[in-house]
Each structure stands twice: as C-alpha cells, then as structure tokens.
C-alpha cells in the first residue's frame, strides 16, 4: 500500500506544476570541488524557478569562492579569533604522506565542534533563518551540525548531498550494508583491485564494527554543542537516519558496486560545464606534437610545488622518455621552479587548465591525475584513459573503480620512480585496450535516459511536497545498535548452545567410560 501511495505521489508531482520552493543549502567547505558541486546544485534549482540561500561553513579558508552567483544570499561562517582547525589536516600539509584518514582524527573532530559552536552562537542569524520558513533543506554530511541546524529552525524535509562517493560513515548512519567480503574503507590509501583474502576480510570486519561503535563518538562534539543550547536535543544520528534523499556527485557506473537504497540518487556530472574553444596558448601546446598530448594535474588542493625535489625530477625524467608527446603540467608556482624545467623541452606548465575543454579534444591521449571525483567524472565522460596517482580521501576509491572498469593504470603515491611512471604511460598510450575501454565508458554515460538536473529537481520537489517520504524509504537498520545489527546476541546464544551441547556430549562420553 505504501509503495502504491508513493507512486501516485510521484506521478502527481510530475503532472502538477510545482510551486516555487524556498531552499536552504548548508555546505561544509573542504575544497574547491566541493563548492563547485554545491554551486551547481544551487544554479540548477534557481534556473528551475526555486529560491536558494547558501550557508557555507568555511573549513578551508583558502577557498574564497561561493560556487554560485544565483543564490539569493550567501552566508559564510568562520571561527572568530582563531585559525580553522581544518588547516592541521595531514593532507593539507603533505599530500604524499602514506596516512589513512579516519573519522576519529583529532583535527577533523575539532573542526566539526569549533564551527558548530560558532554557528549556534549567532542567535540573530538563527532567528533570521527560522523566520524564512524554508520548504526544504540540503546539507553536506561531512559533519552533523547541518542536520541539527535544520531541525532547530524547523525544516521538515531534509536531504543531503556529497561531492564524493558514498562514505562509510554515511552508509552506516543510513543503515546501508557494507559487506566486508568485497568492500573496504573508502579512504584506505592502499586499496587494490583484487579479491580479499582471509586477513583482509578480517581487517574489514574489524574496521566496520569499530566504525559503527564510533558513530556516536564522532557526533559527540556537536551533540554536546546542541544540548548545551537546548537540553534534551534529539540524537543527531537519528536525525541523519531520517534524511529523505542523498544526492551523490557520481554515476552508478563509475561508483564501486555496492548495496544502495531508494534514498540514493546519482547526479554525477551536474557540475560539468559545456566544452568551450581553447585559447591560443593551449591551441599552440596541442599543435606541437602530431602524436598527441598528455595532461598532468593534481587538482587545486594538492600543491605540486611542495613535492620533494626527487619526485619532481622523477616525473620529468619519465616525461622526457616520450619526446614524441607533449606534456602539459598544471603547476601552482611556476616562477619559483621555472629553472627546474628548462631542460625538458616537451613539458609545458600552466597554473590553470581548462580541463573539460582539453579532455574533450581528440589530441589529448591520456590524463595523469590524482583522481579527485570531478577529474574522474570529466575524463570518464570525455573517454580519455588515465594514469591515477590518488593522494587522499575518495581518490583511492575512484582510482580503484576506474581500474576495475579497465581504462586506468593506478600507481601508489609513495612509489613515483621514473621506471614506474614510464611503464604506466606506455600502457595507456600504446596498449589500445585502455583507450577502447575509455571510449566504451563514455558512450555508456552519454546514453543516460535522465539528466542529473532532472533527477535532482523531481526528487527534491517530491521531498518538499511530502516531508513524511523519508519514513517510507527508511531502512529498519538505520537506527539499530551495533549489537542488534550484527545479531551479536543471537550469535552468543548459538555459541552458548554449541558449547553446552559439546559439554553435554563430553559428560555423556566420560560417564560411559567410567561404567
């Protein structure tokens, strides 16, 4: 009956013209790709006729963009009289360190608490937001302050968005299974394309069990902030479990194969702009070699200028072994290191790349990338094979996914020797199977029946019209304790019965021998 009602609601929502919605979008600002994705959501909704306000938690103070010019208003929150704790994160200081991000990292938890305290201290802002009477909210879930804020100001229909694929902590809080037999930690820097052996599966079971028990601890700082302001404030984990939809900046084809629910909506590509003509400088670069060009970029967050000198030289020596190709390297401090490149005539530097335009030019034959999600999406839609050097975060999983799809050679960031790079480039440039797989993936992505914009609009409008929709889509596992979810009590009873049975058998045998 519930499913029938939902179908009717969906049909009505697509037949009747939807009134203008008033939307509040809450953004934790980690990097440029995150603000670009949320900005694309804002622009798409405004172009559809809705009104959107954007609240930005400025975790990363180096990102000054708002991601949109169409929001009605933009509010930026930053801690007063102190530096953002986010700047202490290891990947900001040295992205080549072989460190595995964990949701219990001290700097991460401190960032969540400090920014939430700052937000809730602004009583005038909170009252202003409450008086707006928003129809629907969109939150990023790298913290839990957003879901608490939306509850506090009375927004009943709450959805979330992620500039990365589904994270482990979000899966658990929504009750979505993470089978340890074939899924591992999203941020495991050493994840490889292979079947898990016994000890890897054991490690996965330990990690997921630990994560599930850690969820309340991870939310603890913000929970305390809310309870200090409003005693008896609802459990933040319960509020997260009741989200309606989760909009992911990826495509089901490009994501790791995993269990999902009807709450999960794939809208990867919504932030990609249309291809434009190249300027004279890049036209000149691409015309220098009849064999083609290779792009090299680690995105906006990782500064290649701070890489060790031996790593830079190793990369340049690898490029010099392909004199028939031109290499364009996105480099953040050209003036500082220009002397380093003077003897490498086939390498050209640029502080910024029109990446979409370049990838969609057939003279570009390969892409060396950190495999941030935007880069992963752009190269996949363009059909360009990849040498992936993931550094941190979801880049590990993105590289693993592309490797499984067959158009990527993945390297480990701690082993960037010249011979390793040369071997990887020889594969993607000279073995046709990589380009063929890349073309196949691009064709599949182009054949989608619904655009990301259509998925976003229809889902969000339905969510706003029926705030109870989240309950109909809810998994029972979303609010289970680890004890219940893993049936620990059942296994203990079964183990006890087996033990008692064996003990009884032993006693019977012992008694028989004494007769």
Mean pLDDT, residues 95-111 taken together = 78
Beta-strand (E) ranges in 117-239? Answer: 136-140, 158-162
> Following CA atoms 507, 509, 510, 515 in sequence, which dihedral angle do they give, to the nearest 10 degrees?
120
Asked if the model's pLDDT at residue 275 lies above 90, the reply is no
Is beta strand 408-410 parallel, antiparallel or unpaired with respect to 158-162?
Answer: unpaired
Q: Identify the three-state secondary structure at position 82.
A: coil
Using CA atoms, how far residue 340 sits from 224, 307, 347, 495, 515, in Å, is 52, 13, 11, 66, 91
pLDDT tens digits, 343-395:
898 999 888 899 999 999 999 999 999 998 899 999 999 999 999 999 887 88
Please give the residue that has the higher pLDDT: either 379 or 169.
379
pLDDT of residue 359: 95
Which residues does residue 266 pair with via DSSP β-bridges, in sequence order?
248
pLDDT of residue 425: 96
- Classify residue 22 by its DSSP letter: E
Reported as a pLDDT band with limits 50, 70 and 90, residue 335 is confident
pLDDT of residue 116: 96
Mean pLDDT, residues 484-505 taken together = 90
pLDDT tens digits, 455-470:
999 999 999 999 999 8
Fold of 280-446: Rossmann fold (3.40.50)
Using CA atoms, how far residue 181 sits from 203, 206, 208, 417, in Å, is 10, 12, 11, 33
Please give the residue that has the higher pLDDT: either 257 or 110.
110
Asked if the model's pLDDT at residue 191 lies above 70, the reply is no
Asked if the model's pLDDT at residue 196 lies above 70, the reply is yes
pLDDT of residue 5: 46
pTM, to two decimals: 0.86
Which residues does residue 410 pair with via DSSP β-bridges, in sequence order?
388
Q: Where are the domains of the chain?
A: 16-270+451-478, 280-446, 488-514
Beta-strand (E) ranges in 298-399? Answer: 326-330, 347-350, 364-369, 386-388
CA distance 34 to 44: 16
Domains 16-270+451-478 and 280-446 share a fold: yes
pLDDT of residue 12: 44
pLDDT of residue 2: 46
Which residues does residue 136 pair with via DSSP β-bridges, in sequence order?
23
User: What mean pLDDT value characterizes the chain?
Assistant: 88
Rg (CA), the chain: 25
Asked if the model's pLDDT at residue 78 lies above 90, the reply is yes
Please give the residue that has the higher pLDDT: either 482 or 191.
482
Q: Which residues contact 77 (CB under 8 A, 6 or more apart)?
A: 55, 56, 57, 58, 115, 118, 119, 122
pLDDT tens digits, 418-450:
999 999 999 999 999 999 999 999 999 999 889
Asked if the model's pLDDT at residue 211 lies above 60, the reply is yes
Q: Identify the three-state secondary structure at position 328.
A: strand
Look up tokens 């084809």; give the residue: 253
CA distance 61 to 414: 28
Fold of 16-270+451-478: Rossmann fold (3.40.50)
pLDDT of residue 7: 44
Mean pLDDT, residues 64-81 taken together = 93
| Complete DSSP assignment for 298-315 | -TTTS-GGGS-HHHHHHH
Asked if the model's pLDDT at residue 187 lies above 80, the reply is no
β-sheet with 326-330: strand ranges across: 347-350, 326-330, 293-297, 364-369, 386-388, 408-410
Most confident of the following: 44-53, 78-87, 208-217? 44-53
| Two tokens, residue 444 | 């599949």
Asked if the model's pLDDT at residue 514 lies above 80, the reply is no
pLDDT of residue 94: 66
CA distance 476 to 458: 25
Asked if the model's pLDDT at residue 17 lies above 60, the reply is no
pLDDT of residue 48: 95
């Amino acid at each position: 009956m519930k499913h029938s009602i939902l179908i009717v609601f969906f049909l009505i929502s697509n037949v009747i013209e939807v009134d203008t919605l008033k939307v509040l979008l809450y953004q934790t600002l980690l990097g440029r790709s995150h603000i670009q994705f949320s900005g694309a959501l804002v622009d798409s909704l405004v172009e559809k006729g809705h009104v959107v306000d954007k609240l930005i938690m400025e975790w990363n103070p180096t990102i000054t963009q708002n991601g949109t010019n169409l929001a009605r208003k933009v509010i930026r929150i930053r801690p007063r009289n102190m530096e953002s704790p986010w700047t202490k994160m290891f990947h900001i200081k040295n992205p080549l360190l072989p460190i595995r991000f964990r949701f219990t990292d001290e700097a991460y938890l401190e960032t969540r608490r400090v920014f939430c305290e700052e937000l809730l201290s602004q009583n005038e802002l909170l009252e202003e937001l409450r008086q707006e009477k928003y129809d629907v909210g969109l939150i990023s879930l790298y913290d839990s302050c957003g879901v608490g804020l939306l509850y506090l100001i009375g927004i009943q229909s709450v959805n979330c968005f992620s500039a990365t694929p589904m994270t482990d902590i979000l899966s658990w809080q929504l009750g979505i299974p993470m089978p340890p037999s074939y899924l591992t930690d999203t941020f495991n820097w050493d994840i490889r394309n292979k079947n898990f052996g016994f000890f890897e599966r054991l490690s996965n079971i330990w990690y997921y069990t630990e994560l599930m028990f850690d969820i309340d601890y991870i939310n603890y700082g913000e929970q305390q902030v809310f309870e200090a302001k409003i005693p008896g404030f609802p459990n933040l984990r319960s509020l997260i479990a009741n989200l309606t939809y989760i909009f992911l900046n990826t495509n089901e084809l490009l994501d790791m194969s995993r269990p999902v629910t009807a709450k999960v909506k794939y809208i990867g590509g919504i932030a990609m702009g249309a291809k434009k003509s190249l300027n004279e400088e890049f036209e000149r670069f691409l015309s220098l070699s009849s064999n083609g060009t290779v792009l090299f970029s680690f995105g906006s967050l990782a500064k290649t200028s701070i890489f060790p000198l031996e790593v830079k030289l190793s990369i340049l020596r690898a490029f010099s072994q392909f004199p028939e190709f031109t290499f364009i390297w996105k480099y953040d401090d050209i003036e500082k290191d220009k002397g380093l490149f003077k003897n490498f005539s086939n390498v050209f530097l640029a502080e910024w790349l029109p990446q979409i335009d370049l990838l969609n030019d057939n003279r570009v034959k390969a892409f060396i990338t950190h495999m941030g999600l935007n880069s992963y999406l752009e190269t996949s839609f363009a059909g360009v094979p990849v040498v992936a050097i993931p550094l941190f975060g979801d880049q590990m999983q993105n590289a693993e996914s592309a490797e499984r799809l067959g158009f990527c050679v993945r390297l480990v960031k701690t082993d960037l020797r010249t011979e390793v790079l040369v071997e990887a480039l020889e594969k993607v440039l000279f073995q046709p199977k990589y380009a063929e797989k890349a073309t196949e993936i691009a064709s599949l992505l182009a054949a989608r029946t619904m655009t990301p914009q259509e998925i976003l609009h229809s889902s969000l409008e339905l969510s706003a019209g029926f705030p109870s929709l989240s309950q109909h889509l809810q998994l029972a596992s979303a609010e289970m304790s680890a004890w219940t979810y893993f049936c620990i009590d059942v296994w203990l009873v079964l183990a006890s019965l087996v033990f008692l049975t064996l003990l009884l058998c032993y006693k019977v045998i012992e008694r028989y021998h004494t007769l």
